[in-house]
Structure 1
Amino acid sequence: MGIELALTLVVLAGAIYLFVTEKLPVDVVALLVLCCLLMLRIVSVPDALSGFSSPATVTVAAMFVLSAAIERSGALLGIAELLARVKWRWLFALLMMLLVATISAFVNNTAAVAVFLPLVIRATSARGWGPSRFLIPLSYAAQFGGVCTLVGTSTNLLVDSLARQSGWGGFTIFEFAPLGLIFASVGVLYMMIARPLLLPDLGVPGQATHDPVGRCVAELLVTPESRLAGRRWSQLSVEGTDPRAVLLEVFRTGEALPGPANVSLEPGDRLLLAGNWADIEALRQRQRLRYDPVSSDLDGHPSTERLRAQVMVTPGSFLVDKTLRDVRFGHLYRCRVHGLHRRHPAMRAPLDRIPLAVGDVLVVDATADAIDTLGRDRGLMVLGAHPQPRVDWPRAIGAIGVLVAVMIAASLGLLPIVGAALIGCAAVVALRCITPAEAYAAIDWRVVVLLAGLLPLGLAIDNTGGADWVAARTIEWVGPYGPLFTLAAVYGLTAILTEIMSNNAAAVLVVPIAIAAAEGLGIDARPLLVAVAFAASTSFATPVGYQTNTMVYSAGGYRFTDFAKIGVPLNLLFWGMAVVLIPRFFPF
């Protein structure tokens, strides 16, 4: 063993220790590895910096921008809101996994989970279902979809880049799809069976803290397309879709109707509801109700971002003892009032006819400029504001169209994937689907630095003979049993490393070993490379093995063992499938 190889293995051991113990962030560890390799002169300066210009690194950064353009347009939100209307648990879980898996094949799976996570919590909580039965399936489904295309995960792109550097050629954008679809189908089927058996039901969590505290009163309009048109409110409880909001009154042509729960509702009726804001909002979306539109001239430009804010009436305000109608509040402040929170609610009148009192909190829908105007009024206090998620269809269509064009150009070989992705980034900015500032902010620079810092480590392992040395030891142990056993060993090693460290780091460590082992056995390396990509992109047994697992870990209130209970059998199932199926699609 030469001195360079010994030093490389020492750096490698230190990197593995830091990755496993998480004493430092993974991107910092990657930079430390890069600096060590430079100082020890194991790699040259051009090789050390090659990770920053690698097609994998550039493509990952570009895909973050394309994913953000779709996310910020609200396209994913529109899909998620359609999902929220499903009222059967099994169907909700099935459609959720299929939708997320499909989206994650083309959009960054972390972004997909980030969009669906609050909506799944809100939709399930509104029905009284425990979100803990749905959030781990959400995370796993994102991983199922990620293995179906080359751009589904950064790990796939990384393996592709390392394979090209080693002279084995890369993969086309849909080359993983036939095998990935089988894995995704089996994974969804497994989760449908195991979900009710192995996942805990931890009940409905508390409501989101950014919404008004306590019970609010809101007024919703029954529209012709509403599901409540022609039905009675009391039917909701009978059907098992209790809205968790209380119906106070039904107003028709300005008059309250007796026995509101048993009134056959008609388009134009106004429902006065009381409940937590998240429950009222979930009911509005599910039953296709609308807030009072007031006047169309308050809409503003369709592309203008609207905020939902909580505004308190303070002592000395001219609004005290006046109604919203008296002061024409909407036109005065250029906003709409969607709800009213009062410490001791006793409200049975339409919102615009309720005399306001000190301490009342109005839930308003307005632009940022209108919120500033409210904040400058001494009689009002803005307690908080946050953007309202909505679908901007022109931007959504533009962003989706660009992504489809990128996929087509790359799959037909018209452009390399990195070139198509960069042109796509320029296109979404030019079409104003995303601003330049949003594009820069959308890139997860930690992932970029991680990839750029680890790629030279892969070069060092390869150039110093480290991969050959490890592969030789591996061949001694598993080589006599044939290529199939070697594939099983490579998949198992990658899967274990992925559970305890970054999936990208695991891929960088194993790819050189897999290539050297293939060359030692005289077989095609591509089956082993596919095994690395699939094993590193599917981590189910721990909440720290993959980013999406970490996202749902605290949100679902899970314990560490909940992932192991449902994830270990799934890891073993995928391991067995990989050994049987990979050689059929990628022969030795």
Structure 2
Amino acid sequence: MSLEIILMFSVLLLTVIFFVFEVFPIDKIAFFIIVLLILLGLVTPEEGISGFSNSATIAVLALMILAIAMEENGVINWLTSGMSKVKSLPIYVIAPIFMFVTAGISAFISTTAVVIVFIKIINQLSEKYNISQSKLLLPISFAGILGGSCTLMGTSTNLIVNSVSNNLISQKLGFFEFSILGLIFLGISIVYLTISLRWLPWGKQQNLDRDYQIENYITTVRVTENSKLVGKKIHESFLHNNPDVLLLKLIRNNYTHNSPGKYISLKANDELILMCDLENLARINKSVNMNIYDIENLKIQEEKKIEKLNNPEKEIEEEERVFVELLMLPGASLLGKTLGNLRGFMMQDTIPIAIKKRKTLINEKERMVHSSEDKLELKAGDRLLIEISKEKIDALNTMENMVVLQEFEKVTRVSKVKRYFTFSVLLLVIALAATGVLSIMVSALTGISILLVTKNLDLNTIYKKVNWQIFFLLAGMIPLGVAMHNTGADMWISEKLLGFLDGQPNFIIIGVLFFVTMVMSGVVSNNATAIIMTPIAISVAYELGLDYKPFILSVMFAANFSFFTPVGYQTNTLIYGIGNYKFKHFLWIGGLLSLILWMVATFLLTKML
């Protein structure tokens, strides 16, 4: 084994560790890979940045933009508008319908975008009709992945495998070339997942009061000038030795007293950070005249009082304040912020209350973060509880890459003309790519151009909502595949595999390749897995003198079938915490599905040799 191959394997090992333990966000890992490969001399600087101009990367970016247009112009909501009508059907009928529709749309539109819409639909059905979220979220996530596997434009993984194959051996896959296989896998999976519903948890009815333990939350109050607390020492007030109210901090003249002493006298405009329940806060506000909102809310309240004094005949309506839960998606503007500094990045009159951390492999239990001083940062998949005026909920839709998970979220009206025109552009893109008139990249870019020229898509929206993490991940992982080819690491691995598989029947060779790829995709990004394994599969097929296509398809399907962990695919990560799942649900239900599809795929792909 040469030094270059050893260095290559060291980079691969480091990459896997970073992905598994989420040491850094995936875009940072991508940049790290690019720089490391160049510094080690495994790729030239030009090869190191080649991922940014790779046709597959640009095609994925273009398809993400199209998905944004479909979502913004109401196409996805329109395609799923009838789903609430199934509410009266048994769960064993609702689930297959949801899976079929999710898979059908995901074959042509970003799986993540489609699943997010279904998360909102299922959340609303759960709130209104007591339909279990846990019985539906995992099946629709799996169905979205399977649906995306049915066409060449369905997932970025398919495009990556096709690009690598085209670069190495000039062999391309047709748009619907493997759709029959994908539909077989989808049909088997829908039947299996419907039967498996009995082992999925019923889940808890979503209740913000319980989920976020609002009965014990931290908030800031201000002592008003006419409060009964003014002039009193802390030990003379209800704040001392009260099991229901805990005084954490006192802020006076921008100076913070941590654990303030009982002999400190309270003054007007003091800010107190308290931990107590909503009932106690309401009683406190009424009895001692303190405002439970933040400084900005105090200003708003004072303005209302002045307006009422100046216009005594005018009736000032009291605003209705509600709790709203926001799901953080990759690229959200609040990512990296702590609860303590969120207020400076949110809309006026919006109060962040609590963060619910998503589960990870090294953190099976969700963490609840209430303390404004906690240093844990918001990450993709986390949920943020805020308090806001009900009239201002619509404005939350303007925040970047966040989903409002509430039943009172208002649907933004989109004109039918705009919706139908955008859908027609999608059909045009599909037709041009499917017939081979244009490549997927060119047809998608053409569709985007039409939407931009007709003002059905805005560039500012694109900049805000594109999942740039995926783009940079692809751009960073493509040089990894180049480095494997440059160093001969792909040939070395294929030679070792050939030594192990020498004399074995074809179904064993395909089965081993499929299994290894599938296991890797469960802990590493499916795109990264595809980039690593496609050159190896092609080398094995070349050495054995067999048709390349079954080997290429083995990697493509196996890289997509990451069902046995919640981190293998983005949609699994999103539904992990929302559906109250445990790791075992993915391991056992998703693992068994993976094994079933592995055996079926091995049989069908071997028949192609």
TM above 0.5, one fold?
yes
Is the CA contact (8 Å cut-off) linking 2:537 and 2:552 kept in structure 1?
yes
CA distance in structure 1 between the partners assigned to 2:595 and 2:186 by the alignment: 15
User: 1:286 aligns to what?
Assistant: none
User: 2:141 aligns to what?
Assistant: 139
1:575 pairs, out of 581, 587, 598, with 598
CA distance in structure 1 between the partners assigned to 2:152 and 2:601 by the alignment: 17
| Counterpart secondary structure, 1:450 | helix
2:107 pairs, out of 95, 98, 105, with 105
User: 2:61 aligns to what?
Assistant: 61
CA distance in structure 1 between the partners assigned to 2:113 and 2:105 by the alignment: 10
CA distance in structure 1 between the partners assigned to 2:23 and 2:457 by the alignment: 36
User: 1:82 aligns to what?
Assistant: 82
User: 1:37 aligns to what?
Assistant: 37
CA distance in structure 2 between the partners assigned to 1:530 and 1:382 by the alignment: 50
User: 2:483 aligns to what?
Assistant: 460
The 5-angstrom pairing of residues 234-273 of structure 1 reads none
Q: Does 1:413 align with 2:436?
A: yes
2:188 pairs, out of 186, 189, 192, with 186
Is the CA contact (8 Å cut-off) linking 1:62 and 1:421 kept in structure 2?
yes
2:161 pairs, out of 155, 159, 162, with 159
Q: Does 1:495 align with 2:518?
A: yes
Per-residue deviation, residues 14-58 of structure 1 (Å, max 9, x unmatched): 212222222112222222121111112221222222211111000
| Counterpart secondary structure, 1:150 | coil
Alpha-carbon distance change, 11 to 203 in structure 1, aligned in 2, over 3 angstroms: closer
User: 2:372 aligns to what?
Assistant: none
Please report how far the alpha carbon of residue 391 of structure 1 lies from its aligned counterpart in structure 2 after TM superposition.
Answer: 4.9
The 5-angstrom pairing of residues 426-575 of structure 1 reads 426-575=449-598
Percent identity of paired positions between Structure 1 and Structure 2: 31
CA distance in structure 1 between the partners assigned to 2:390 and 2:196 by the alignment: 47
CA distance in structure 1 between the partners assigned to 2:106 and 2:169 by the alignment: 29
The 5-angstrom pairing of residues 175-254 of structure 1 reads 175-195=177-197, 197-206=198-207
| Counterpart secondary structure, 2:393 | strand
| Counterpart secondary structure, 1:131 | coil
CA distance in structure 1 between the partners assigned to 2:78 and 2:550 by the alignment: 39
Please report how far the alpha carbon of residue 396 of structure 1 lies from its aligned counterpart in structure 2 after TM superposition.
Answer: 1.6
User: 1:378 aligns to what?
Assistant: none
CA distance in structure 2 between the partners assigned to 1:507 and 1:41 by the alignment: 23
Is the CA contact (8 Å cut-off) linking 2:60 and 2:471 kept in structure 1?
yes
User: 1:385 aligns to what?
Assistant: 393
| Counterpart secondary structure, 2:429 | helix
Per-residue deviation, residues 491-520 of structure 1 (Å, max 9, x unmatched): 101111111111111111111111111111
Amino acid at match of 2:207: G
Is the CA contact (8 Å cut-off) linking 2:510 and 2:606 kept in structure 1?
no
CA distance in structure 2 between the partners assigned to 1:444 and 1:531 by the alignment: 27
User: 2:21 aligns to what?
Assistant: 21
Per-residue deviation, residues 311-339 of structure 1 (Å, max 9, x unmatched): 999556659999xxx98xxxxxxxxxxxx
Alpha-carbon distance change, 465 to 79 in structure 1, aligned in 2, over 3 angstroms: same
Is the CA contact (8 Å cut-off) linking 1:124 and 1:130 kept in structure 2?
yes
Is the CA contact (8 Å cut-off) linking 1:74 and 1:389 kept in structure 2?
no
User: 2:263 aligns to what?
Assistant: none
Is the CA contact (8 Å cut-off) linking 1:5 and 1:466 kept in structure 2?
yes
Per-residue deviation, residues 250-280 of structure 1 (Å, max 9, x unmatched): xxxxxxxxxxxxxxxxxxxxxxxxxxxxxxx
Is the CA contact (8 Å cut-off) linking 2:56 and 2:159 kept in structure 1?
yes
Please report how far the alpha carbon of residue 580 of structure 1 lies from its aligned counterpart in structure 2 after TM superposition.
Answer: 1.1
CA distance in structure 2 between the partners assigned to 1:193 and 1:122 by the alignment: 24
CA distance in structure 1 between the partners assigned to 2:321 and 2:309 by the alignment: 12
Alpha-carbon distance change, 543 to 407 in structure 1, aligned in 2, over 3 angstroms: same
RMSD between aligned residues: 2.9
User: 1:6 aligns to what?
Assistant: 6
Amino acid at match of 1:553: Y
CA distance in structure 2 between the partners assigned to 1:116 and 1:60 by the alignment: 22
Is the CA contact (8 Å cut-off) linking 1:75 and 1:391 kept in structure 2?
no
CA distance in structure 2 between the partners assigned to 1:442 and 1:185 by the alignment: 33
Alpha-carbon distance change, 483 to 74 in structure 1, aligned in 2, over 3 angstroms: same
Is the CA contact (8 Å cut-off) linking 2:148 and 2:155 kept in structure 1?
yes
| TM-score, length-scaled by structure 2 | 0.68
Please report how far the alpha carbon of residue 547 of structure 1 lies from its aligned counterpart in structure 2 after TM superposition.
Answer: 0.3
| Structure 2: gaps of 5 or more residues | 215-299, 323-346, 351-388, 398-409
CA distance in structure 2 between the partners assigned to 1:90 and 1:541 by the alignment: 22
Alpha-carbon distance change, 122 to 12 in structure 1, aligned in 2, over 3 angstroms: same
Is the CA contact (8 Å cut-off) linking 2:321 and 2:390 kept in structure 1?
no
| Counterpart secondary structure, 1:152 | coil
User: 1:275 aligns to what?
Assistant: none
Alpha-carbon distance change, 429 to 358 in structure 1, aligned in 2, over 3 angstroms: closer
Please report how far the alpha carbon of residue 109 of structure 1 lies from its aligned counterpart in structure 2 after TM superposition.
Answer: 0.3
User: 1:347 aligns to what?
Assistant: none
Please report how far the alpha carbon of residue 582 of structure 1 lies from its aligned counterpart in structure 2 after TM superposition.
Answer: 2.1
Q: Does 1:150 align with 2:175?
A: no
| Structure 1: gaps of 5 or more residues | 214-310, 328-355, 364-371, 376-380
CA distance in structure 1 between the partners assigned to 2:588 and 2:496 by the alignment: 33
| TM-score, length-scaled by structure 1 | 0.70
Is the CA contact (8 Å cut-off) linking 1:491 and 1:535 kept in structure 2?
yes
